[in-house]
Structure 1
Amino acid sequence: MQQKIAPSRWYRIIPIVFITYSLAYLDRANFGFAAAGGMAEDLNITPAISSLLGSLFFLGYFFFQIPGAHYAAHKSAKKLIFWSLILWGALAAATGMVSNVNMLIVIRFMLGVVESAVMPAMLILLSQWFTKTERSRANTFLILGNPATVLWMSVLSGYLIHALGWRWMFIIQGLPAVVWAFIWWRLIDEKPSEAAWLSPQEREVVEKQLQEEQQQIKPVKNYAVAFKSKTVILLCLQYLFWSMGLYGFVMWLPSIIKAAPDMDIVITGWLAAVPYILAIITMLVASYASDKTLNRKIFIWPFLLVGALAFYGSYLIGTGNFWLSFSLLVLAGGAMYAPYGPFFAAITDILPKNVVGGALGLINSMGALGSFGGAYIVGYLNGVTNGFGASYILMSVTLLLSSLLTMWVVKSPRALIRQRDDLL
């Protein structure tokens, strides 16, 4: 019944947030292609500095999560994302104009700072539009901007670097965010009560349902109480380990593929896109089943475990069979992305509205710290060992830890009430 109320929300809100997050992820992930496509040689970047540059984005991303999320929750997610779009588009394009490593270090760090509030702000925005039985799917359509973008970006970046060089790749892929900022401002509404394209009855029904859901969650006194709760601490650790595995994979997959015999940058682009096809499918299936059953847990930990086993399998195979190892990497990519919708829906299921913005910011900042660690350590291990076995082990272990933590902290529907009470 709830799903049939105001169906226009799905085609008015979801495409806009999908495109916006896609542009953010485009400017985040194309660095891996530049690193594999000549930037290191042109700027005399050593393997150690390349690892630092690939991960610096996430360090900037880490520091400004909570203030941005708080602003989005209590002021305006719409305004925050508008200015973020303009700034990150300009910084991404500026990456193509750098002449030395020091400039690149500053830009990569600032790009992370500017984009830091986008993810929690988007999740807060969606929580103001979609009910509990819709939220996993809504979150998934947002986060689909991640694998969907890497899918087409991988192919396009390979061709752009081949035809125009890495500098023009950054410029061409950065400027659309600046243009999109003004489209975002014109098309998005902060909440149903502000949407002129909904009928008065639709606005009233959606707002009423969202308010009734919040009445079932007892408010927490303040951020300090929420941040000290066992649930929030364990969610932070879970997302940190998960992000270590995921972004070690995302940032360095092009380099892993490019190292294979007789591999050029165009073929690398096509092959790097394959895991994200599977990721889109698994994300849609997991989010749909999660909303239907309202059991978030069972659609998170098994996928993370599969990812851990796939990385370990790639380690065992080594360099002896590229295509079998690559197939396991495809499986790992699809498995790691699948739980995103259920995971963030679980957070908003557990936490009351008065602290969910800050808690999302804290959890996402821990994910950013894990992303920094994963991107840096994987790049470092690849450079030191001249191979990928050690990084496969690292990603396998972090995903295994994340899976185990999920079993502990994310409860089944029957245990959810007790979990909420633990926050008080």
Structure 2
Amino acid sequence: MKTQLAKVRWYRIVPIAFITYSLAYLDRANFGFAAAGGMNEDLGITKGVSSLLGSLFFLGYFFFQIPGAHYASHKSAKKLIFISLILWGGLAAATGMVSNVSSLIVIRFMLGVVESAVMPSMLILLSQWFTKEERSRANTFLILGNPVTVLWMSILSGYLINSMGWRWMFIIQGIPGILWAFVWWKLIDETPKEANWLTGEEKTAIEERLQHEQLAMKPIKNYAQAFRSKVVILLCLHYFLWSFGVYGFVMWLPSIIKQQPNMDIVTTGWLSAVPYIVAIVGMLGASYFADKTLQRKRFIWPFLLIAAAALFGTFLLEDYSFGLSYFLLVIAGGALYAPYGPFFALVTELLPKNVAGGAIGLVNSMGALGSFVGSYLVGYLNGLTGTFNVSYIFMAVAVLISALLTLVITKPSQPVATALASVPE
């Protein structure tokens, strides 16, 4: 019965969550292609303004994480994601209709606002369906929507811009989010007890197992106590620095490649997709072994260390060999993504359910702030120096510190330590 139950959950919940997050990720990743594919010239966007526009999404994303996560945790993740799907699909399509920079600024910020609750809401929803031994894999299949989307989006965006222009790229890639909202509402169930495709015995088995996991943790009184704890502060700093590197990489990879002599936008799209193939393999492997061993941090810091080394190597080789520097960028991209599943499984296991939603929102908001700083600073430095070399150093240092923080992130002090005594590192 247990094996059959697990299969039903994986088939009914994970594909829907994967597609939903994939559509959400489009609007943050395709902007880099528009910038490299003629948008800046058409709207008269300077390099400094382009950096601001690329990062504004994450500023909006930063401000509304905690309220969204709280609503999802205490009311309905399903309803919040449904509304967000419609709004972000409309705003993403509207990006292709702008006629001036002011409109683009507003749209980019609002895109971040409406999408801000999606990631924590999804993590909360999955934590209501999957046990500790399954959660890293479940989170990974969700977050795989990130590199998988960038992979096919990189190729498709190159062709769309080449044949139809950047405006139609935004419009075509925004409409599916609106349509998918109604599929989401029809197919997803908030908790096992609401699923008519489970038997009563299956519902009870899932909920009893999840409740048993919560008994191992002493409840923390409120968000204020949780947010002041050492473990939450370390998680926030860790994710801030990691996201600095990830989105400095994601937002500007197309421009890094496009600056090479005789590089067209279609080839740029194909080359930009390769790191995400490596990312998919790394994410699947890391999540599988993290769930098998329940040693989360062993599948976080080594990958981040590899990413930092690869980014530093790119700095050394950028002016000598595009082939070698591109190979290192592929390694960096794959290693930056691999630890996502184990990391978010760790977050949900370190804190009890009554504050986990807000804590996820806080950690993710700091990641968004890191994404804002990373994407803006990388773009600013590129425009200032005319090269990406300095940016590689900043990204490498940020990711390196994040890797080192992993080694102490699971050793919280009181009062959280008592609640975590039975949770394996």
TM over 0.5: yes
| Residue pair 1:3, 1:134 contacting (<8 A) in 2 also | no
Structure 1: distance between partners of 2:194 and 2:399: 41
Q: What is the CA-CA distance between 1:146 and the residue it aligns to?
A: 0.1
Q: Is residue 19 of structure 1 aligned with residue 12 of structure 2?
A: no
**Alignment coverage as a number of residue pairs:** 420
| Residue pair 1:229, 1:422 contacting (<8 A) in 2 also | no
Partner of 2:137: 137
Structure 1: distance between partners of 2:320 and 2:227: 47
| Residue pair 1:220, 1:355 contacting (<8 A) in 2 also | yes
Structure 2: distance between partners of 1:91 and 1:410: 39
Closer, same or farther: CA 397–2 of 1 in aligned 2, 3 Å: farther
Partner of 1:357: 357
| Residue pair 1:351, 1:420 contacting (<8 A) in 2 also | yes
Partner of 2:273: 273
| Residue pair 1:257, 1:263 contacting (<8 A) in 2 also | yes
Structure 1: distance between partners of 2:410 and 2:65: 22
After superposition, residues 16-415 of structure 1 pair within 5 angstroms as 16-410=16-410
Report the AA paired with residue 142 of structure 2. L
SS of aligned partner of 2:219: coil
Q: What is the CA-CA distance between 1:28 and the residue it aligns to?
A: 1.3
Report the AA paired with residue 337 of structure 1. Y
SS of aligned partner of 1:5: helix
Structure 2: distance between partners of 1:374 and 1:157: 23
Structure 2: distance between partners of 1:356 and 1:109: 26
Closer, same or farther: CA 242–3 of 1 in aligned 2, 3 Å: farther
Report the AA paired with residue 111 of structure 1. L
| Residue pair 1:147, 1:276 contacting (<8 A) in 2 also | yes
Q: TM-score, normalised by structure 1?
A: 0.97
Structure 2: distance between partners of 1:326 and 1:411: 37
Q: What is the CA-CA distance between 1:411 and the residue it aligns to?
A: 5.2
Report the AA paired with residue 59 of structure 1. L
| Residue pair 1:60, 1:116 contacting (<8 A) in 2 also | yes
User: How large is the Cα RMSD of the aligned pairs?
Assistant: 1.5
Closer, same or farther: CA 373–255 of 1 in aligned 2, 3 Å: same
Structure 2: distance between partners of 1:225 and 1:52: 35
Structure 2: distance between partners of 1:71 and 1:193: 19
Structure 2: distance between partners of 1:391 and 1:127: 36
Deviation per CA, 1:293-348: give whole Å up to 9, x if none: 00001000010000000000000112210010000000000000000000000011
Q: What is the CA-CA distance between 1:410 and the residue it aligns to?
A: 2.8
Structure 2: distance between partners of 1:295 and 1:411: 13
| Residue pair 1:6, 1:202 contacting (<8 A) in 2 also | no
Structure 2: distance between partners of 1:422 and 1:341: 21
| Residue pair 2:218, 2:418 contacting (<8 A) in 1 also | no
| Residue pair 1:310, 1:332 contacting (<8 A) in 2 also | yes
SS of aligned partner of 2:262: coil
Report the AA paired with residue 393 of structure 1. I
Q: What is the CA-CA distance between 1:6 and the residue it aligns to?
A: 3.6
Structure 2: distance between partners of 1:303 and 1:74: 34
Q: What is the CA-CA distance between 1:144 and the residue it aligns to?
A: 0.1
Deviation per CA, 1:225-264: give whole Å up to 9, x if none: 0000000001000000000000000000000000011100
Structure 2: distance between partners of 1:157 and 1:83: 26
| Residue pair 1:315, 1:392 contacting (<8 A) in 2 also | yes
| Residue pair 2:137, 2:287 contacting (<8 A) in 1 also | yes
Closer, same or farther: CA 395–419 of 1 in aligned 2, 3 Å: farther
Structure 2: distance between partners of 1:307 and 1:2: 38
Report the AA paired with residue 253 of structure 2. L
| Residue pair 1:411, 1:419 contacting (<8 A) in 2 also | no
More displaced 10-residue stretch of structure 1: 400-409 or 76-85: 400-409
Closer, same or farther: CA 89–39 of 1 in aligned 2, 3 Å: same
SS of aligned partner of 1:408: coil
List runs of 5+ in structure 2 lacking aligned partners.
none
Structure 1: distance between partners of 2:230 and 2:4: 37
Report the AA paired with residue 387 of structure 2. G
Structure 1: distance between partners of 2:165 and 2:303: 37
Q: What is the CA-CA distance between 1:170 and the residue it aligns to?
A: 0.1
Report the AA paired with residue 17 of structure 1. A
